[in-house]
Amino acid sequence: MTLKIVPINSQSETRKKILHAAYKCLAQIGFNRLTPDEIALRSGVSRKIIFHHYKGLENLLSDLGESGFYWPTTDELLANTPDEFPNMDPEKQVGAFFLSLRKELEERPETLRIMAWEMLEKSALSEELEDVRVRTALEFFEHLGDDVPDDVDLAAAVALLGGGISYLAIRSLNTKTYGGVSLQDEVGWERLEHAMHRMLKGLLFQ
C-alpha cells in the first residue's frame, strides 16, 4: 500500500481557509449561529476536513485568536510604536499601545463586528477570543519602563481606556459622531487621543 503524503504547506493553507471563513462568518452571524456547516459552506472545506483539523468550535476559535486574522500580535502592535518607545515616559508608552491598537483595528472591521456580537452573546466561544486580547495586552505591557508609580492601578486604567476606545471603534462602524466628537475622520480621533494622553499624564504623573 502506498502512503498518501499531504504536504505541510497544503495543511497550512487549508487551516488558513478554515480560519478565514470562521472569521468572516462570526462577524456576519455572531457566536450563537456559528456552526461547522456555516464555516464549511463559506470555506469550501468539508465538515470532515474541519473536524480533522479541529476538535470543536472552541478549539477552532482558540486558533483563530492566535492566527493574526482576529487580533494583532504583540509584534504588530510594537511595530506601530515610535522608535524611541523604550525610552518614552510611561503615559506615552501606554498611549502608544492604544494608538497602535486603533490602527490595527481599523484594518480589521470584522473584528469590531465580532466584538459587538460578544457584547450580546457571551459564551465559551467568545471567551476564547477574550483570552487572546488579555494575553496580548499583558505581553505588550511587559515592554513598559519601570517608572510607573506603585500606587497607580495600571490594569484598571488600561481596562477603562481600552474599554472606551474599543466601544468608540465599534460605534464608528455605523455612527458618525459620539458626544459631539467625530468618529469618522482623523480630526475626531486626534481629539480623543489628545484627551487620552492628558488623562494618562494626570494619572501617572500627579
Q: Residue 146's pLDDT is what?
A: 65
Pairing between β-strand 177-178 and β-strand 181-182 as defined by DSSP bridges:
antiparallel
Q: Which CATH superfamily is domain 8-67 in?
A: Homeodomain-like (1.10.10.60)
Name the 3-class secondary structure at 182. strand
pLDDT tens digits, one per residue of 111-145: 999 999 999 998 899 999 998 888 888 888 888 76
Cβ neighbours, 10 Å, residue 202: 10
pTM here is: 0.85
Q: Would you state the cell numbers that stand for residue 3, as one nine-digit string?
A: 502512503
Residue ranges per structural domain of the chain:
8-67, 74-204
- Using CA atoms, how far apart are residues 162 and 164, in angstroms rounded to an integer? 5
